[in-house]
Structure 1
Amino acid sequence: MNLGIRAHDLMGLSLERLPEEVSKLGLSSVQLALNKSFPELHIKNGSLTPGLANYIGSHFRNHNVQIAVLGCYVNIIHPDLSERRSLLELFKEHLRYARDFGCSIVATETGNVHEKMGYTTDNFTEDAYNEVVKSVSELVEEAEKFGVIVGIEPGVNHPIYSPKVMRRLIDDVKSNNLQVIFDPANLLTEENYKSQKIVFEEAFRLFGDRIAAVHAKDFSINEGKLEFVPVGEGLLDYETVFKYLKYTKPYINILMENTKGAFIESGISYLKGKFEAVIE
């Protein structure tokens, strides 16, 4: 099992301390969002250089921690076209320097037709989907130039909201530089969580070959509403997820998220136990 964590869930740590703490936890990788982990760097358009990327990457390499994914979660279909252009250029900058971090994947979700992020059925229109295709195609074209990957994370709060729509995006973009960041909890709602095994198996059938990394969090139902909780504190069907990953995606990066503080070590134990218990 190749287990890591979203770096900014280890809150308030300096560049010098963060890789060390990840290593002490027995974790092998991180998803790194620069401005969330290191806000003091004030990363914006034009900030990245090979020097900065190598400096950050070397700290992680010194502790045998892989930067598995660079997180650049921006609204790629922002309704303000000027703001959208700025966000797309920031993502492309991450793509250009990803290799200098020792990383090959830059990831995002697919945004929102409104400036304010959150669930809305307005995301589920054909127009919203077509805007995603245009933005993802532009990002993938840049990724192809630098031999890196655009990782798209589908989820019900975004235009790419189901396994079928994710498969459609893969078919329409037509590039192996487009891969999937699979977060099983993000595909669940109050209506379908009791059928999560069916949802997950559909995802593996439709785009399992394109899954490049996996997020691990959990969920519960509180007063009829689905809410995310730390790993091991909820209802997610890890048996189904790990049965696929263990025998189809050996050593894939599994990155814990929404799991902080005292929940980190218990979450690690929980995931390892679930993974080890899986029998083909």
Structure 2
Amino acid sequence: MINIGMRPHDLGKQSVESLANKIGEKGFNCIQLALKKAVADFDYNNGMMSPGMAQSIKETFYKKGIRIAVLGCYVNVTHPDDIERGKLIDRFKEHIRFVRDFGCSIVGTETGSLNGDYSYNDNNGGEEAFERFMDTLKILNAEAEKFGVIVAIEIVKKHIINTPQRMKRVLDTINSNNVQVIFDAVNLLDAENYQEQDELIKESFELFGDRIIIIHAKDFVIENNDIKVVPPGQGLLNYALLMKLVKERKPYIDVLIENCKEEYMVSSKKFIEDLYAKV
């Protein structure tokens, strides 16, 4: 009752056929596909997508039993330069228009930073940043509603939507079922709050568990007073709690392993599957 997937670009940028072969061999049945990061068959630029392109990519993965669960468009949707932000919004809209042709209904992103390079800005947690993000989200949501697809957003501790309460405020403000959540427990944490992870995970499921449609899976350790990502099961994340909540609230949800080196992918998949069966 759980689907385990991964991100093709964690294997490095390759042809679609090569990616499909490698992912299929590892036993994964779904992916989060970021064209610009993963696919070497062409240099993706705005305006290049078409139904033919999307369906060709979809069919290549389908032949290996792999479904595209999320079309990733991880761009700084709150870019401080309005001209650049406009270009990034246009790219996201293109993903929204053609996502169904990939056999998928979800376009995923994070919530951005007031720094153009996506780095942390001290004002990311402020009201001005929130309003700027919401201005963009309203545009993307309107496009998603036209095409009957979903914009899925992630909390990230250093970005603009950085707490469970702030995510709940986004969902209440936008008031649209076309906006849903990709939940990554590690993204909630930093060196100061990681010992409160149980409360943060539970709070997230209480506040917006009904809106979680994808789970991202990685793990962490604390190194040099900062979060360092490690493969699932090799760190400090309370996976037993996370999988218990997933099993209770989100049967058959897609769980996508990320930031994982190739040599740990299969063992990470087995760790999650075994733990899910036990809880």
Q: TM-score range by the shorter chain?
A: over 0.9
2:156 corresponds to which residue?
155
Q: Does 1:247 align with 2:248?
A: yes
Aligned-partner SS, 2:214: strand
Contact map agreement 1:140 1:178 (CA 8 A) in 2: yes
Contact map agreement 2:233 2:239 (CA 8 A) in 1: no
Contact map agreement 2:14 2:41 (CA 8 A) in 1: no
After TM superposition, give the deviation of residue 33 of structure 1 in Å.
0.1
Q: Deviations over 1:123-163 (max 9, x none)?
A: 01100000111101110100000110000011112110000
2:106 corresponds to which residue?
105
After TM superposition, give the deviation of residue 119 of structure 1 in Å.
2.6
1:228 corresponds to which residue?
229
Work out the CA distance in 2 between the residues paired with 1:59 and 1:157: 36
Work out the CA distance in 2 between the residues paired with 1:157 and 1:69: 23
Alignment of 1:138-177 (within 5 A): 138-177=139-178
Q: Deviations over 1:33-59 (max 9, x none)?
A: 001111441111111101101111111
Work out the CA distance in 2 between the residues paired with 1:96 and 1:40: 21
Report the TM-score when normalising by structure 1.
0.97
Moved over 6 A (4+): none
After TM superposition, give the deviation of residue 212 of structure 1 in Å.
0.8
After TM superposition, give the deviation of residue 191 of structure 1 in Å.
1.1
Work out the CA distance in 2 between the residues paired with 1:39 and 1:163: 36
Work out the CA distance in 2 between the residues paired with 1:34 and 1:110: 19
2:199 corresponds to which residue?
198
2:48 corresponds to which residue?
47
1:180 corresponds to which residue?
181
- With over 3 angstroms needed to count, the CA separation of the structure-2 counterparts of 1:132 and 1:12, relative to structure 1, is closer
Q: Which amino acid aligns with 1:238?
A: Y
Aligned-partner SS, 1:120: coil
Work out the CA distance in 1 between the residues paired with 2:190 and 2:149: 32
How many residue pairs get aligned? The number is 278
Q: Which amino acid aligns with 2:52?
A: G
After TM superposition, give the deviation of residue 72 of structure 1 in Å.
0.2
Work out the CA distance in 1 between the residues paired with 2:257 and 2:150: 21
Contact map agreement 1:8 1:37 (CA 8 A) in 2: yes
Q: Deviations over 1:81-105 (max 9, x none)?
A: 1000000010000000000000100
1:216 corresponds to which residue?
217
Work out the CA distance in 1 between the residues paired with 2:225 and 2:129: 28
Contact map agreement 1:119 1:156 (CA 8 A) in 2: no
1:35 corresponds to which residue?
36
After TM superposition, give the deviation of residue 173 of structure 1 in Å.
0.5
1:67 corresponds to which residue?
68
Report the TM-score when normalising by structure 2.
0.97
2:278 corresponds to which residue?
277
The alignment yields a C-alpha RMSD, in angstroms, of 1.0
Unpaired segments of 5 or more residues in structure 2?
none
Select between 14-23 and 237-246 the one with higher mean Cα deviation.
14-23
